[in-house]
Amino acid sequence: MESVDVFESLLSSSGLCNWDPVVFDMLIKAFLKVNMVKDGFRAFRKTVKHGMYPSVITVNCLLTGLSKLNYSKKCWEVYAEMERIGVHPNSCTFNILTHVLCKDEDVNKVNEFLEKMEEEGFQPDIVTYNTLVSSYCRKGRMKDAVHLYQIMYIRDVSPDLFTYTSLINGFCKKGNVKDAHQLFIRMADRGLKPDVILYNTLISGYCKEGMMQEARFLLHDMIGEGMHPDKFTCSVLVQGYQKQDNLVSAVNLVTELQRFRFVVSHDIYNYLIAALCIENRPFAAKALIDRVSGDRYEPSNMVYGELIESFCRCNFPDEASCLKAEMVSKDLKPDIGTYRAIIKCLCKLGRSMDANSLMREMTDCDVPPDIEVCRALINGHCGENNFCEAQSLLSFFAQEFKIFDTVCYNTIVRLLSGEGDIAKLMKFQDKMRKVGFAPNQLTCKYVIDGLQKAVGVHKINS
């Protein structure tokens, strides 16, 4: 839609000045540069329709864009079009299309295509070989991959880091870290220096096999070589430790990397903090936050929530409240789950009055309480023999928030019945009816129990 406008306006304004058809070439490239592949494709078609020829480089950019979106069919359309209008493909074109064929798992077609490429006078180069090797590796066809790797030496196209990364990754994926490492050593013998991606690949292989010591050794090796472990390195190692339920080592690793001032993604911090919270180790989680918060890391709303809930599960409501206050001071809005956790925890620990004020705070912040909050408070007050507060909360929740918790209602009825004060019971019943509570079977049973108790009748049936 937009490309039509841009193309047409470019076309219409070209009459007003000296212009060069290269502007349309640039337009296509510009679309692709900002990842507007479809617009680039449309602009390409229109350019051709108006009898102009985009450059090979531009067509190659277009093919790359289409290939990345897996629009294979469109790639071949473009290729046919360039033959038709006489834009000669070059080695990049062939490599891009080889990649397309490899992705589509068309092995026979790949060979056919390579023959055609040679007919047109292009020898497969390092990129062509790497594309093929990586394709074999991805499909787990290591024998074919290694065979091609040997052919590269024969044809005097020396394998490079890309080749080795594909092969090492291929072996690792098969669980064959030994061969992967051997290749790594051979590569070094041939004078190639592994880069971060290559280290990551092998480290990931070891992590997948649970060989964390080897993985860690490689990490130190790469640091010793002056390389900077990246997010990828960190995430692979953390996941490796996690797979062995070794959260402590994962946390230690991350703090070590952070001390070295290497990039640790905030996702990793979030992940580890969440994991510690789930394992009910809120103090460790809090310590991790404190240690890394200098690292431009700020816990999100969700992380705070998880931490607070973890403290609550472990019966540390004051630590939880403190964090909640910290959230508020940072203009983060605690959600219902956070409030609910602290309220439940306080009630469980016999501090229902403290929970009350928290409930007031949440309603002041326009976070309406839910039935769980209602139930926790009422049960809490009942447990602390504060029936009065329980009763007033029951009607408060009903009136203000339309929460009618029959379970709580019946609990109070049962307790009042147990006290044997019929007048009080009836007064309560009456009040509750007015705010909208309807008694059910269980309510009636409790009321009858209360009456019997009051008049001293012993139960006949138990």
Partner DNA sequence: CTAGGGTTAG
Interface positions with DNA (CB under 7 A) = 56-57, 60-61, 64, 90-96, 99, 125-128, 130-131, 134, 138, 160-166, 169, 173, 195-198, 200-201, 204, 208, 232, 235-236, 239
Compare residues 126 and 274 and give the one whose CB is closer to DNA. 126
Compare residues 93 and 411 and give the one whose CB is closer to DNA. 93
Task: Work out how close the CB of 108 gets to DNA at its nearest, in angstroms, rounded to a whole number.
Answer: 20
Task: Work out how close the CB of 168 gets to DNA at its nearest, in angstroms, rounded to a whole number.
Answer: 8
Compare residues 235 and 338 and give the one whose CB is closer to DNA. 235
Task: Work out how close the CB of 162 gets to DNA at its nearest, in angstroms, rounded to a whole number.
Answer: 4
Task: Work out how close the CB of 242 gets to DNA at its nearest, in angstroms, rounded to a whole number.
Answer: 11
Compare residues 237 and 347 and give the one whose CB is closer to DNA. 237
Task: Work out how close the CB of 332 gets to DNA at its nearest, in angstroms, rounded to a whole number.
Answer: 26
Task: Work out how close the CB of 193 gets to DNA at its nearest, in angstroms, rounded to a whole number.
Answer: 10
Compare residues 99 and 181 and give the one whose CB is closer to DNA. 99
Q: What is the 3-state secondary structure (H, E, C) of the chain?
A: CHHHHHHHHHHHHHHHCCCCCHHHHHHHHHHHHCCCHHHHHHHHHHHHHCCCCCCHHHHHHHHHHHHHCCCHHHHHHHHHHHHHHCCCCCHHHHHHHHHHHHHCCCHHHHHHHHHHHHHCCCCCCHHHHHHHHHHHHHCCCHHHHHHHHHHHHHCCCCCCHHHHHHHHHHHHHCCCHHHHHHHHHHHHHCCCCCCHHHHHHHHHHHHHCCCHHHHHHHHHHHHHCCCCCCHHHHHHHHHHHHHCCCHHHHHHHHHHHHHCCCCCCHHHHHHHHHHHHHCCCHHHHHHHHHHHCCCCCCCCHHHHHHHHHHHHHCCCHHHHHHHHHHHHHCCCCCCHHHHHHHHHHHHHCCCHHHHHHHHHHHHHCCCCCCHHHHHHHHHHHHHCCCHHHHHHHHHHHHHHHCCCCHHHHHHHHHHHHHHCCHHHHHHHHHHHHHHCCCCCHHHHHHHHHHHHHHHCCCCCCC
Compare residues 250 and 394 and give the one whose CB is closer to DNA. 250
Task: Work out how close the CB of 165 gets to DNA at its nearest, in angstroms, rounded to a whole number.
Answer: 3
Task: Work out how close the CB of 157 gets to DNA at its nearest, in angstroms, rounded to a whole number.
Answer: 9
Task: Work out how close the CB of 301 gets to DNA at its nearest, in angstroms, rounded to a whole number.
Answer: 21
Compare residues 165 and 352 and give the one whose CB is closer to DNA. 165
Compare residues 170 and 380 and give the one whose CB is closer to DNA. 170
Is the separation of the CB atoms in 211 and 177 below 8 Å? yes
